[in-house]
């Protein structure tokens, strides 16, 4: 497949950062936004990118993007979401923390808490929190996914089911406008479902780019969580679901 030099560079930028934005690309290449929109449409037609409002994501289809690239997407927004979630969790609480770059941001914001018991299937979370003497870390057993350090599979599900905790912090790879919470790996979804079922208060953390993505495996529904923290929610159907099912919606960009 032939790509022009500009198209090839756009693909590489999207691969490095997880997404590209029209205005940023127009400035970078010193061309008009209309030219960039045409470039992105062409690349999306070839299934090399996935179009979103104001830009495009890499990659397309049902593949999940590389973990380090996902860390870079909406990094400031994830930090704010992490801080908002941490403020809801008191000292001396027990909680699950699931796989994900936004849930990792929550774990980082929790480091000044005391007396926490953290049960996690995320090696990155366990490694960050284990050195703090006021935090007890319990890590699930199971298959370790090399791409992101997530622990998945039936052994992890059975392990999670041993607990009943105060809070659960979960993420999702995509949120459909009908409220479906979606992910890519059915093994991870099984763990997430066990986490939801065994927590008294479920906190969903997700930045607004997840409204623009899709994934093939259903975790559950927004109505199953107690609190939804995002940077901004501009999807009327999502706001309606939160209102009708008494899900507390926190938008950190409005705080």
Residue 244 lies in a domain: yes
Per-residue pLDDT of the chain (255 residues; tens, 9 = 90+): 567 889 989 988 887 777 889 999 999 999 999 999 999 998 888 878 887 888 888 754 434 555 555 666 678 899 999 999 999 999 999 999 999 899 999 999 999 999 999 999 999 999 999 999 999 999 999 888 877 888 999 999 999 999 999 999 999 989 999 999 999 888 889 999 999 999 999 999 999 988 988 888 899 999 999 999 999 999 999 999 999 999 999 999 876
Q: Are residues 157 and 115 in the same domain?
A: yes
Q: What is the reported pLDDT for 254?
A: 77
Whether 231 and 207 have beta carbons less than 8 Å apart is answered as: yes
Q: Are residues 139 and 185 in the same domain?
A: yes
Please state the domain count of the chain: 2
Q: Are residues 18 and 140 in the same domain?
A: no
Q: Are residues 93 and 43 in the same domain?
A: no
Q: Are residues 143 and 236 in the same domain?
A: yes
Q: What is the reported pLDDT for 63?
A: 45
Its domain, for residue 28, covers 5-61
Residue 69 lies in a domain: no
Q: Are residues 56 and 79 in the same domain?
A: no
| Chain Cα centroid distance, residue 193 | 16
Q: What pTM value is reported for the model?
A: 0.75
């Amino acid at each position: 497949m032939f790509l022009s030099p500009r198209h090839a560079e756009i693909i590489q930028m999207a691969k490095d950062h997880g997404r590209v934005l029209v205005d940023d690309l127009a400035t970078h290449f010193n061309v008009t936004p209309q030219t960039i929109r045409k470039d992105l449409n062409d690349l999306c037609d070839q299934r090399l990118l996935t179009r979103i409002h104001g830009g495009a994501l890499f990659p397309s289809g049902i593949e999940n993007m590389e973990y380090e690239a996902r860390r870079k997407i909406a990094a400031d927004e994830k930090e704010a979401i992490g801080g908002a979630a941490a403020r809801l969790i008191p000292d001396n609480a027990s909680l699950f923390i699931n796989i994900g770059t936004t849930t990792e941001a929550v774990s980082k914001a929790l480091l000044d808490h005391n007396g926490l018991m953290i049960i996690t299937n995320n090696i990155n979370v366990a490694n960050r929190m284990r050195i703090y003497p006021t935090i007890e870390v319990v890590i699930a057993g199971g298959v370790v996914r090399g791409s992101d350090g997530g622990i998945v599979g039936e052994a992890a599900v059975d392990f999670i089911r041993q607990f009943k905790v105060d809070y659960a912090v979960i993420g999702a790879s995509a949120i459909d406008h009908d409220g479906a919470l979606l992910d890519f790996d059915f093994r991870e979804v099984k763990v997430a479902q066990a986490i939801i079922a065994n927590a008294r208060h479920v906190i969903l953390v997700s930045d607004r780019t997840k409204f623009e993505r899709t994934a093939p495996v259903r975790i559950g529904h927004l109505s199953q969580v107690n609190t939804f923290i995002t940077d901004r929610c501009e999807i009327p159907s999502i706001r309606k679901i939160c209102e009708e099912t008494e899900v507390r919606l926190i938008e950190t960009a409005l705080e």
